Amino acid sequence: MFTTVIGVPYNSAGRAAGVARAPGVLAEAGLVPPGELRLVDLPPGSPVRGPSGLLAEPLLTEMLARASAAIGLALRAGDRPLVVGGDCPVVLAALVAGRSAFGRMGLLFVDGHEDAWDPRASPTGEAADSELALALGRYRDALPGPLASQLPLVDPADVAILGARDSGELAAYGQPSLAGEVLLLRPGDLREEGITAATRRAIEAIGAHRSWWLHVDLDVLGTDQLAAVDYPQDGGLTWAELSNLVGTALSNRGCLGWTLCIYNPDLDPDRTEARKIAGFAGRFRR
């Protein structure tokens, strides 16, 4: 369960709209009591692709520095934070903070996508296509020095992906899957084994004896469960299945905290989806 909520209003497209507005909107929807959101201040970004192929490289570097500092403060205070994005690369900040405080980290990566694109091949250029590749130390050659110098953050043996279902898209673009390098359980695998049993096996695989981080991209849900995401896909988990998975993960003492990302308030004008997300996350608050 979690004790602190840190908001990181980061959009890897370099814009202040879309997912960047998620922490504030979710707080207003009841995720945290008024005034309790710890919001990380970020500078403006620019939607220009840099030498690495990523959009808004300076914003990514600054987000990593500022958000990891805020998360590190919470961890050193003995808190177990929920870090609300924004885009998925906020998990990089959590891994930087966790590794600094506790050493080698594991990562339970719950996402509808593998997010390990070569940035130069990404159709969007958004770091949200590539954060797991960056965490594993891939494609560092053209990254800004302050970012590249911190990578890799995790070892493939310490990563498990749960819920990814983008194999067809990866094959269509000639991008390799991480299947075979990391433990990868697709929605069908999770259901066949049972959500609780599969989650526990994944935690054991990434090193239950050491500290690890839970990352939840809400597009792991089916579009019929949550439509306010930028890149919807057919299939996916139900809210009940995701609740079971997250509850199982957070019940493990090795979990330092979790990230919750990718909700886009611009696609949710009446805030119906925001209230769903707030209610979902709120049940895990200590």
pLDDT surpasses 90 at 229: yes
Q: Report the side by side order of strands in the sheet with 183-185.
A: 38-39, 4-8, 81-85, 255-261, 212-217, 106-110, 159-162, 183-185
Tens digits of residue pLDDT in 175-202: 999 999 999 999 999 999 999 999 999 9
Tens digits of residue pLDDT in 39-76: 999 999 999 999 999 999 999 999 999 999 999 999 99
Greatest C-alpha distance within the chain: 47
More confident residue, 181 or 2: 181
pLDDT surpasses 80 at 286: no
What pLDDT does residue 1 have?
72
**Residue 185: which CATH number?**
3.40.800.10
Tell me the whole-structure pTM to 2 decimals: 0.97
How many structural domains comprise the chain?
Answer: 1
Q: Is the peptide bond before 152 cis (omega within 30 degrees of 0)?
A: yes
Average pLDDT over residues 26-36: 94
What pLDDT does residue 230 have?
94
Range of the domain at 28: 4-282
What pLDDT does residue 65 have?
97
